[in-house]
Every structure is written in structure tokens, then in C-alpha cells.
Amino acid sequence: MALPRAMRLLALVSVGLFCYLLFLIFQAPSGLEPPSTKGSGLKLEKMDRDPNLDPTGEPPGLLRRVDGYNYAPDNKKSDRINATLLSLVRNSELKDMLQSVRDLERTWNHKFNYPWLFLNDEPFTEEFKKGIRAATKAEVKFELVPKEHWEVPSWINDDLYRESVEVLKDVQYMNKKSYHQMCRWNSGMFYKHPALKDTQYYWRVEPHVHFFCDVDYDVFRYMQDHNKTYGFTINIYDSPESVAGLWPATQEFIASNNHYLHPNNAIKWLQDDVNRRENFEKANGYSTCHFWSNFEIGDMNFWRSQAYEDYFQHLDRAGGFFYERWGDAPVHSIALGLFEDASKIHWFRDIGYQHIPFFNCPNSPKCSGCQTGRFTDGEQWLNKDDCRPVWFKHVGLG
């Protein structure tokens, strides 16, 4: 009788161990602090109706407007704050850059005259400078990116990079080294440029984007007056193959830097496993949902914080900017989602915007050339890349 009882005990222990193992496996992706649920504003279980369809006006609260000469380009005592329009661009993109500059000048900057700063890893041509200067009456600067900010870091092994390109050959731009350099630079370098030393806020503008709606208030002052860190227009899913190691590297960082997590963080948004579960699985616990960073209005003090600097250094050493294709958009988004108060992240729902193939198109008489509520003008399947419902669900309209 002793033997069967021992076997029964053994079976019981095995079942217990198996259950514990299952528990560990399902716990694994969320090895961080339990997410905060505070957030701000409205919570939607799922997006039944696109908020872009609702009539959209200006954001509530204090807004600064043009009043006489207060924003005139040559006014030395203007109401402008410490902010710039910012673009990393190649000489070959002059025509596309002019498209973006003209749209933003027409809808907003001809009123407020914020300066433009153009950056390039190669010297700008006279043709480029002349073309841009003619498109605005605001101050314009052209600067070179310091070599040490752009070059591939010494610890990246070129053979390993080439092997990674073979493995991830289906990831867009994987074989284009300059694209990796650009993503790394946008993640951890741009705000360190000497020309931005005394600047706090920036609005990132890419070539070949469109702005559709008149905006009649100073958006930089809005950020400052309302204590916002980051503004976005579009929230989408990333290709999970390009960031497979990003969340594990992030978890590793958090494990020893738990104190950087903000009590009102948006980790639930980052870890959403409902909407596109396959992304969450392939990206090892990250939903891949991110603010699309070709549009950003931000406070560079966040990128200059110790938390972000330590995080960037950790990621940079991990090598994923080259061995995978970590984009600055998911990197920025994860950092904001973990280290910033979610209520300081603002959806600029009133800024009509397009970067191929996605739009932010509000329902407003101030907009033209943008079909209200349209998310994409590309293939139908691109609609499932819309990640705003997940942001609204976990954080709110902000």
C-alpha cells in the first residue's frame, strides 16, 4: 500500500508544479509593476464610434492667440516661447519638404512665426536653403548633425548586423543602415544637438506630410500652459518583428530601475493583449502600439531626463537599433508610457494631418482636403493598424 500512496503523492506534487509553471508562463510578459488605471478623461471599452466624427473644436482652457504684433516675425519681445519647428531631412527631399513647410505655414505658422531648424548628416546645399527660406518669413537655421551623434556605435558588429538583415529581411528598411542610424538618432540624439541647447519644445515635421486644418492658437504655449509633455495625432501598431527584443530589453531595464515608473503610467496601453494579440505575442509582451513619431510636439526636458537617458543607454548597448530595427516611435512611446504621467500626453485631435498612408481627419469647418474620420487612403487592411481605441480605452482622450 505504501507504494501507491507515494505515487499518488508524487502525482499530486507534479500537478502542483505544472500549475505553478503555467502560472509563471502567463505572468511572464507583465513582469513589471501592476499598471496604474488612473489615466485621464474618458474610458472606452472599445471604440464604437470614431471621435474624429464628432464635431471638433479647439481644446478647452487657456489659448494664446495673435493680437496685433505679438507674434510678428521681427518682434524681439514676442509672445513666442522657447520652441522650434524641427526637421531632419536630406537635400534630395527639397520638393517634399517644401510641401510640408507650405502646409504648416499656411495652416499655422504664418500666424505665429516660430523658427525652423533643419538638420542633416550632410551639409545642406545652397539650393535647399534658398528653396526653404523662400517659403517662410520666420527665422530659419540649417545645421549639420555632429558626426558622433550619427555614426554607428563602436560596439555594433558589422557581420552580426548583416546576418540580422538576412534573418529579418522582411522587415521594411532592415537592409538600409542609414535608416537604423536615423531611428537611433531620433531616439536618443536629436535633443542633444548644440543648436537646440537652449530650446525646450519642438514640433517634428517630416518631408511630404500634409496639414489640413487652420489652427489659431499657439500650440507650444498650449503645451506649456497645460503642463503637457507630448502631443500626437496618430497611434498605430508596429511590425512586431522589428521590435521583438525591445520589450524584453525594457523589462530588464525596469527590473533594476523600478523607481523611474510613473505612478500614473500608461503601461496597460503598452501591454494590451486584446486587440492584436499576435503582435503582443510576437513582440514578447508589447502590444506594439505607438505614437507615430513623424508628428511629435514635445517637451525635450523629458528626453533630457535621467530616466530617459539611462533607458536610451540601456537600449543602445542592447544593440537592437541595428540587430533588429527598433524605431524611435516605439522607443519614445514606451518611455512615455512608463516614465511619464499619462495625463501629460495630449491627442491633438484638431490638427488635421497625413503622413502616407495614415490620416488624422477631424470633423471641423477649419479643415479642408481631408475626409472626416478617414484613417487611411491605402489598402482596406491598413485600417486594422489603428491603435487609437487602445489608447482611449486605457488612458482616455486626454
Ligand X SMILES: Nc1nc2c(ncn2[C@@H]2O[C@H](COP(=O)(O)OP(=O)(O)O)[C@@H](O)[C@H]2O)c(=O)[nH]1
CB 177, CB 156: distance < 8 Å: no
216 binds Mg ion (CB under 5 A): no
Question: Site residues for ligand X, window 337-356 (CB under 6 A)?
Answer: none
Minimal distance, residue 216 CB to Mg ion, in Å: 27
Q: What number of other Cβ atoms are within 10 A of residue 286's Cβ? A: 28
Do 64 and 218 form a contact (C-beta atoms < 8 A)?
yes
Ramachandran region, residue 221 (left: φ > 0; alpha: ψ -120 to 50; beta: rest): alpha
Would you say 44 or 97 has its CB closer to ligand X?
97
Q: What minimum distance in Å lies between the beta carbon of 47 and Mg ion?
A: 26
Asked if 120 is part of the footprint of ligand X (rule: CB under 6 A), the reply reads yes
Choose from ligand X, Mg ion, none: what does 58 bind? Cβ within 5-8 Å by kind.
Answer: none
> Nearest distance from residue 121's CB to ligand X, in Å?
5
The yes-or-no answer on residue 296 being catalytic is yes
Contact call for residue 206 and Mg ion (CB under 5 A): yes
In the region spanning residues 23 to 62, those forming contacts with ligand X, defined by CB under 6 A, are none
Q: At closest approach, how far in Å is the CB of 226 from Mg ion? A: 28
Binding ligand X by CB under 6 A: which of 58, 79, 93, 214?
93
Catalytic residue among 105, 241, 296, 340: 296
Query: Of ligand X, Mg ion, none, which one sits near residue 93, judging by CB under 5 to 8 A according to partner kind?
Result: ligand X
| Residue 294 sits in the site that holds ligand X (CB under 6 A) | yes
88 binds ligand X (CB under 6 A): yes
Strand ranges (DSSP E) for the chain? Answer: 83-88, 116-120, 140-144, 201-204, 209-211, 230-232, 235-237, 289-291, 296-299, 345-347, 353-355, 358-360
Q: Is 121 in the site for ligand X (CB under 6 A)?
A: yes
Task: Convert residues 123-162 into a mask of x (bound to ligand X by CB under 6 A) and - (unbound).
Answer: ----------------------------------------
Partner from Mg ion, ligand X, none binding residue 143, C-beta < 5-8 Å depending on class: none
Q: Which residue in the block uniquely carries the three cell numbers 481644446?
A: 59
220-241 burial, b at 16+ Cβ within 10 Å, e below that, comes to bbbbbeeebbbbbbbbbbbbbb
Question: Is 79 a residue that touches ligand X (CB under 6 A)?
Answer: no
Output 93 or 151, the one with its CB closest to ligand X.
93
The closest alpha carbon to 385, from 288, 306, 286, 244, belongs to 288
CA distance 86 to 94: 15
Name the residue nearer to ligand X (CB basis): 121 or 216: 121
Residue type, 191: Y
Return the beta strands (E) in 66-211 as ranges: 83-88, 116-120, 140-144, 201-204, 209-211
Q: In angstroms, rounded to a whole number, what is the distance separating the alpha carbons of residues 26 and 380?
A: 34
- The helix (run of H) or strand (run of E) holding residue 382 is none
Which residue, 64 or 204, has its beta carbon nearer to ligand X?
Answer: 204
Give the one residue of 89, 104, 117, 132 binding ligand X; rule: CB under 6 A: 89
**Residue with CB nearest ligand X?**
178
H-helix segments, 257-305 = 267-270, 277-282, 300-303
Which of 157, 178, 306, 313 touches ligand X by CB under 6 A?
178
Give which of ligand X, Mg ion, none residue 320 binds (C-beta under 5 to 8 Å, depending on kind): none
Q: Tell me, rounded to whole angstroms, the distance of Cα 205 from its chain centroid.
A: 13
Binding residues for ligand X, rule: CB under 6 A, are 88-90, 93, 120-121, 178-179, 182, 206-207, 294
Binding residues for Mg ion, rule: CB under 5 A, are 206
The residues that are catalytic are 296
